[in-house]
Structure 1
Amino acid sequence: MKQTLLFRQWGLSYLKAAVRDWHGRFVLMGLCMGLVYLQTWLPALVGRLQHGSAGLPLIGAALALGLKQIWTNRQKIAQLEASEPDQVIGHLLILCSVAAFPLCRFAVWPQAILWLLILAGITVSSWGIQFFTCYPLPTLLFVITAYPKPGLFARILWEALTPPLFLEQIMAQAGAAALSAVGRPAVAKGILVFLPPNGAVEVGWGCNGFNMAFTMAAAGLIMGLFYQQRWHTTLAIMAMGIVLALIFNVPRIMLLAIAAVYWGKESFNFWHGTWGGQIFSSILLTVFHYTVMTLIKRRPTKQI
């Protein structure tokens, strides 16, 4: 009860201080719009968690690391001063984004872009544009957390840079080869894995391993930052996560093919659904964790 009262008093003090000048009013207006976006951002993350996505813990960890960086450097940040042009640019970013926000409620991504512009406006008008060059790491972390579906942008980029169904065909070939190696003759044609004469399964986007590889790369980035590893070690951890995700995806394809062809629809739906995906994810994350910790113990940490 006492903590609640202190928090309320702090909030009232902040509001009184914020409305004393135009800069505080602009910042307060931008933060209020952030509360509006929170009502879209948080349910989207929670909804994906129910479908087996690891977006909520990863984005939560990135947000916590970003806030930690800001708090650790708060005294240095307080010494930064925004020039008059910076304040004008920042206030315009906030004002234009807030004005456009009601028109962009039709989807999550335009709201995420406007929220990023509001954050940029608050930052530039408070500490100047030099903040982004002085503190690129928290900037990157906040950019990552703004959109509740960061994997979507990665998919768009991947599909723009690779031939159609590139990874799906590779996974189909790998799955068929692995099935043949364990005594289940299989043939891959395009994105289909045939187990003659019984049937076939299709390796679609959700089964090509990309989403899990992206998740493991993000987890590797966060672990590298959390354990204060050097940049080349962090890149090695991310690459390790990607490789492990693609390797673990092959037995998953094998199991789904066997379940679909021999065990029936109910078994296939289980392993293809949330519970089956969580089982594979848990095993993958366990192996990844111990592998990363072994690597970290052999490498020195960087000094911040």
Structure 2
Amino acid sequence: MNNLKLVKDPKYWLLAIAASLITLHLHLSWRSENADLLGISLLFWVAVSALIWRKRDSLNLESEVFSTIFGALLIGFVLFKSTHLYGYDLFLRVSPFISILGLSLLASGVKGLKQYWQEILLVAFMAVPPGVLSIFIDLSLLTAKFASFVLWILGFQVSNSGVMVTLPTGGIKVGAGCDGFGIILQLLGLSFICLVMFGHHLWHRILVPIASVILAFVVNGMRVALMAILAALSNQEAFEYWHTGDGSLIFSMLAVFMFGVFCHFTVLRTAGARG
């Protein structure tokens, strides 16, 4: 009898569907060989799951026919599209938003969507690809100037002309792929997660996003400075390692670690004292 009740309980069906969608998305993100996407997807899914779990007892799980059908169609579309993905695809950034929206409609209908505004906002942030921001905001020039400043501080004979960072024996051109939007979006997303889960003060909501952008920009500028040195040394193998290889992930991990330390001392300690 207990097993039969579990089968009939819509909560467990919703949980099973959600777990399947999350697992599918993480698998496809891993298969795409895009480490940045996999890392941020994992963090966002953990945050969304934690938020839902925290308010599980207060959720109103009542949906009407239209919302149920529309939610099922959205989930069906995600499943269908996912079977036709090969490698990295922009849909991998959009699918979490469609999945959460579909699950919310299945669970609580249109009227109950407001219960999930935090989760929907988080996954909507994931849908923004770094390349889109580069169209509207060009950070290449500022990144080149900052990298040149770092090299000058370190004692190198460096010159800067536009997006060119030049040393006596070589240099680099800072393009859109090196402007730092990838790391900026990653840390900005982490700041939103931190604020949604632990941010209770207005100064948190102002300071944390600004700090995430500044920290990401600085770390990326240091990576660009390193690549300029390697280009000047004509070390192509090391240059590719830090440019597109695992070395770029090390800087991402460094930025995440530093931002985690910052959030610990500015937000989490305050939240602990408040609790």
TM range (shorter): 0.7 to 0.9
Does the residue aligned with 2:267 lie in a helix, a strand or coil?
helix
Percentage identity across paired residues of the two chains: 18
8 A Cα contact 1:46 1:56, kept in partner: yes
User: Are residue 76 (structure 1) and residue 51 (structure 2) matched?
Assistant: no
What are structure 1's unaligned runs of at least 5 residues?
1-8, 19-23
8 A Cα contact 2:94 2:124, kept in partner: no
1:83-113 C-alpha deviation (Å, 9 max, x unpaired): xxx4224314424763796478555445775
8 A Cα contact 1:192 1:202, kept in partner: yes
8 A Cα contact 1:176 1:188, kept in partner: yes
**Aligned counterparts of 1:141 and 1:238: Cα–Cα separation in 2:** 14
1:147-171 C-alpha deviation (Å, 9 max, x unpaired): 6xx451x431x23433xxx211211
1:243 Cα deviation after fit = 0.3
Aligned to 1:128: 109
**Aligned counterparts of 1:114 and 1:278: Cα–Cα separation in 2:** 24
**Aligned counterparts of 2:233 and 2:170: Cα–Cα separation in 1:** 9
8 A Cα contact 1:90 1:122, kept in partner: no
**Aligned counterparts of 1:159 and 1:191: Cα–Cα separation in 2:** 14
1:164-194 C-alpha deviation (Å, 9 max, x unpaired): xx21121112222332343322222332222
Amino acid at match of 2:121: L
Does the residue aligned with 1:184 lie in a helix, a strand or coil?
coil
Aligned to 2:151: 179
1:294 Cα deviation after fit = 2.0
**For this pair of structures, how many residues does the alignment match?**
268
Does the residue aligned with 2:139 lie in a helix, a strand or coil?
helix
8 A Cα contact 1:91 1:121, kept in partner: no
Relative to 1, partners in 2 of residues 1:230 and 1:88: Cα closer, same or farther, differing over 3 Å?
Answer: same
Amino acid at match of 2:226: L
1:272-304 C-alpha deviation (Å, 9 max, x unpaired): 243322333343333322222221266456989
Relative to 1, partners in 2 of residues 1:263 and 1:238: Cα closer, same or farther, differing over 3 Å?
Answer: same
User: Are residue 138 (structure 1) and residue 156 (structure 2) matched?
Assistant: no
Q: Which moved more, 1:242-251 or 1:273-282?
A: 273-282
* TM-score, reference length from structure 2: 0.76
Amino acid at match of 1:139: I
User: Are residue 220 (structure 1) and residue 191 (structure 2) matched?
Assistant: yes
Answer with 1 or 2: which has the greater Rg: 1
User: Are residue 167 (structure 1) and residue 139 (structure 2) matched?
Assistant: yes
Does the residue aligned with 2:172 lie in a helix, a strand or coil?
strand
CA RMSD of aligned residues (A): 3.7
Question: Any residues of structure 2 matched to 1:47-58 within 5 Å, and which?
Answer: 47=31, 52-53=35-36, 55-58=37-40
Does the residue aligned with 2:59 lie in a helix, a strand or coil?
helix
Aligned to 1:87: 65
Relative to 1, partners in 2 of residues 1:186 and 1:47: Cα closer, same or farther, differing over 3 Å?
Answer: farther
Aligned to 1:276: 247
What are structure 2's unaligned runs of at least 5 residues?
none
Does the residue aligned with 1:183 lie in a helix, a strand or coil?
coil
Aligned to 1:3: none
1:130 Cα deviation after fit = 2.5
* TM-score, reference length from structure 1: 0.70
Aligned to 1:251: 222
1:7-44 C-alpha deviation (Å, 9 max, x unpaired): xx95x7655x38xxxxx7xx78x949x848954x2233
8 A Cα contact 1:88 1:125, kept in partner: no
Q: Which moved more, 1:241-250 or 1:181-190?
A: 181-190
Aligned to 1:288: 259
Relative to 1, partners in 2 of residues 1:72 and 1:302: Cα closer, same or farther, differing over 3 Å?
Answer: farther
